[in-house]
Structure 1
């Protein structure tokens, strides 16, 4: 049975790439009964009499999957956040980072619209860039100014499946258009009334850029902690994770326990206060979720 990769999902159809062939497929009804849904990025077995009349017969094993955006087998996530319009949000960035870390996907932080900043604003963003680089994240900064060249980003994409995610209106589609102009992905301006971007990407699709595949995804502005447990949360903050073995008590949640190595690092300034604040907010959100259940 031939095998391929789902590169696009739209209106109930799955578009499967098998070398130079692109076959329009439907999923088997059995998948619905099994509560399984094909995702962009899935490796599949399919049957097809022609290019527009195929069926996905089997979903092969996934190494990971994301719910929002719905995609599987991702190698890395390009988390695009604007420096301005909308304002850079370390709180929202940390929410994304936790979910990406929990899915064992390598993140790359991209801060767009750097050309819009004045000197004071630039200094603030540069401090955040330094903070995240010290944690160990790859951070890239880009400009939306006409003529800006971001081809230097291509080596980050080669031979990988990457997902582009982030808040609406931060320049995700503009970034992809700059990398490969003939994509001609629809873009739109930030909504001044709502203070956030309009949704211009309405489906998930893997696009060939360089020697890699990049998913353009619908923008969204919230990520819920539905599958992360309180005792695991610190594992997804790398600077906290490395201190966990040094805590006095197993199962330390790094809030008020004595002998907490994370709190000691915080007091020494080696864990940033805003990152720890976000950890506490996420922890409370997870605990509230448990209480609701």
Structure 2
């Protein structure tokens, strides 16, 4: 068994591994292919026959700290092991190699998301909570305010970027999105049937109030995975967007919805436009590990009020 970084010759083997491990392997491979430094940041286990049996990848991303200052963070993903090679410590060895590489790369800390935290706890990652709510979809009338909500188009990209940058200006745990992120990464995660809804003030057009992302993670279920609101217009934007999302979700056959947004007053006040009954649904999928930064600094970031990592910044 050999443990090493990847080369271009390993790409077919990596794609085959991810195809065997992930239902969305095409997305995993597509996003991995956008990392120009992917080979040096991909660690794999190769058996004696030359087969790639386990692998992981980290991507350095600028993520805002508890103070709002961007830090270089090693975002870990694409972790997979073939079924017949599991339970042999491959991921443990690859994680150790990745931590060494992230240290040399100047990463302050490392971030990952998983449903199997025990795999990473022994290597120093710790879970953190993210706020959320769920419940049956509301059947209220459309929000009566002076706002129109529609599907966004590519022409709305400057407005979406401005809303996102403003809403996240100092928000902990958010990624500082580049033009390339908007061009390539966001469309992958929010491809149809997901919808980016934009709300506009009909009395002060063109005046965007905010945008929200509506996803359907499973049949009969809807999810609000992202939102950005214009400063000073948060209440109007949140109410209009969640009301429109409820109408659109019901039309798509959904009966329940989940909300993955920060617990801010405007959002909390608008939840009844989406949910008939609001049930707290905190998640613990996020995990963080200090690399160069002190543990207390990393903990302050992932637990800061308003901290959120948007689904569209997945890796």
TM-score by structure 1 length?
0.22
- Higher RCO (CA < 8 A, seq sep 6+): 2
TM-score by structure 2 length?
0.21
